[in-house]
Chains A and B, each alone.
Chain A
């Protein structure tokens, strides 16, 4: 009963916090637009590069034409936008400025407020991402091969991808308890992510060894898996397996996060607040 009540009050918290965060995000509309230019430009650059490579090879690479690359990178833009977070870049500041000390006094885990901030940002940016996707589709004529079941399966896969990536980033952010050089750690994580998540290129184009590694690491399941699913490249069995692996990773990282968080809080001391 108390569990149910606390779940209900968590729901209330999310409702109110999301509403305030949306209002806050609205204040930074200009900044948001500017950040989006970067978010759209990166997949656009990779699309241009692979289209040029396909053109140099007589129109297709491994059977992928520039229209297939367009579909891949437009899907990549959407999935990346919906799953990314920035907590690991802010955590150091958050500890140093004493905001964490105040948040620790609340009867709610600080991860919830980060989730709300993230969702508020996503909700608002979608109003720009969707027109951008339509525009890019008109210009680059992506070859979509949608299937009803994979579109449906895409939704939970996307949600799991977000949960996995968010938990991963949040655990990474906890490094800030031990060092002040978090930027280097984040950069390193971002580099590995770029290669093994499928952001740089469809993973099928990578050398076989790297493809195998990509299946072992968690990053493919944060980005490439939902993309391949919505592009209709997976069988139903592969889709189910993928989601099972996503859930396995979520459970593993959740355990790790709880452990690291407990150790971190024990060594954390703050003055005032």
Chain B
């Protein structure tokens, strides 16, 4: 286990060093982060100019949800997406052979290879927004709420990772799947709002087909103290289910991989 942690550390250090060559990307990420935030704040301002709640959420609660959406997007764009895109490229070119022949778990290796460090700015921005929203809302969340929030956020992270890995694994059978990632991205955008506002079919899709509900709405509900024990248990089960399913699917995928050199 200690070896594995050291291994992940080394990979990440390499990835950071690699990314530090492209410092201009920092400004791009920063600008895009602020623009996205401007859109979110502006739309909240326009909507709450006409109503005092949206499906039971107050303006500051929704702002906290926006912050959580940012934290989750930052996590995806820093850790998950770059590695998965690298995996797709490797499958496409046949260079995944070099990873599969290493004496370490291949799923672990493909999951930590790329690390777009500049996108961590979204995580920081998201945390700032959450803190601001909570401060403006007045009463601070209880310890229980904070614990539930952190736990559901971590579980949401596991679910999103597993989901991306499953998507990327499809590439072992169908080489060109970049477009599937586009679907995920456009559906993920819907997570800027609590899934409760959507019509039932869309809500189901956003919960199980593209698990935005677990990634954003559930942690936000936990933070504002509106999550039931059943929802918490459901999130835990979903995280386990997604993770195991991704693992099994990955194994099958690797078996189906033909390689380029073989």
> B50 interface residue, CB < 8 Å from A?
yes
B182 within 8 A of A: yes
Is A45's CB under 8 angstroms from B193's CB?
A: yes
B49 interface neighbour in A51, A194, A207, Cβ under 8 Å: A207
The answer to whether B197 and A205 have CB atoms under 8 Å apart is no
Q: Contacts A49-B54, A49-B197; is A35 near B182 (CB within 8 Å)? A: yes
The answer to whether B42 has its CB under 8 Å from any CB of chain A is yes
Binary flags per residue of B189-226, CB closer than 8 Å to A gives 1, else 0: 11011000111001000000000000000000000000
Q: How far apart sit A31 and B31, CA to CA, in the bound complex (Å)?
A: 29
CA distance in complex: A57, B52 (Å)? 8
B-contacting 9-mer, from A36-44, A215-223, A253-261: A36-44
A41 (CB) vs chain B CBs: closest residue = B186
B186, A49: Cβ atoms closer than 8 Å: no
Interchain CB contact under 8 A, B24 and A37: no
Given contacts A34-B179, A181-B24, A188-B31, contact A49 B189 (CB under 8 A): no
**Is A27 in the interface zone, CB < 8 Å from B?**
no
With the chains together, A37 CA to B185 CA distance in Å? 10
Q: Which of the candidate stretches B6-14, B32-40, B114-122, B139-147 sits at the interface with the other chain?
A: B32-40
Q: Are A52 and B187 in contact (CB under 8 A)?
A: no
Given contact pairs A52-B55, A53-B51, A191-B38, A201 touches B46 in the complex (Cβ within 8 A): yes
C-alpha gap A211/B38 in the complex (Å): 18
Interchain CB contact under 8 A, B198 and A50: no
B228 within 8 A of A: no
Residue pair B32, A48 in contact (C-beta under 8 Å)? no
**Chain B residue at minimal CB-CB distance from A64:** B50
Write the nearest CB–CB distance from A169 to chain B, whole angstroms.
18
Instruction: Find chain B residues with CB under 8 A from A49 CB.
Output: 43, 47, 54, 193, 197
B53 within 8 A of A: yes
Q: Which chain B residues border A50 with CB–CB below 8 Å?
A: 47
Residues of A within 8 Å of B50, CB to CB, are 53, 57, 61-62, 205
- Residue from A34, A41, A188, A206 within 8 A of B190 (CB atoms): A41
A181 to B22, CA, bound (A): 13
Check if A41 sits within 8 Å of B24, measured CB to CB: no
| A183 interface hit (Cβ, 8 Å) | yes
Given the interface contacts A38-B186, A41-B189, does A57 sit within 8 Å of B51 by beta carbon? yes
Q: Report B-chain residues with C-beta under 8 Å of the C-beta of A194.
A: 39
In the complex formed, the residue of A with least CB distance to B45 is: A207
Q: Is A2 on the interface with B (CB-CB < 8 A)?
A: no
- Known A-B contacts A45-B189, A61-B50; the reply to A200 vs B32 at CB < 8 A is no
| CB-nearest residue of chain A to B43 | A200
Task: Say whether A30 faces chain B, with CB atoms less than 8 Å apart.
Answer: yes
**Interface presence of A271 (CB below 8 A):** no
B180 at the interface (CB under 8 A from A): yes
The reply on B183 being an interface residue by CB < 8 A is yes
Q: Contacts A62-B50, A184-B28, A187-B31 hold; do A48 and B39 have CB atoms under 8 A apart?
A: no
Q: Which chain A positions have C-beta within 8 A of B43? A: 49, 200-201
> Is A89 among interface residues, defined by CB-CB distance under 8 A?
no
Interface string of A186-203 (1 = CB under 8 A from B): 011001001100001100
CA gap between A48 and B183 in the complex, in Å: 19
On chain A, the residues within 8 Å of B185 by CB distance are: 38
A-B contact pairs, 23 of them (CB 8 A): A34-B182, A38-B186, A42-B186, A45-B190, A45-B198, A48-B198, A51-B197, A52-B55, A53-B50, A53-B51, A56-B51, A56-B54, A57-B51, A61-B50, A184-B27, A188-B31, A191-B38, A191-B39, A194-B39, A195-B42, A200-B42, A200-B43, A205-B46
Residues of B within 8 A of A (CB): 24, 27-28, 31-32, 35, 38-39, 42-43, 46-47, 49-55, 179-180, 182-183, 185-187, 189-190, 192-193, 197-199, 202
10 smallest CB-CB distances across A and B, nearest first, come from A38-B186, A52-B197, A53-B51, A34-B179, A191-B35, A52-B55, A61-B50, A56-B51, A48-B197, A48-B198
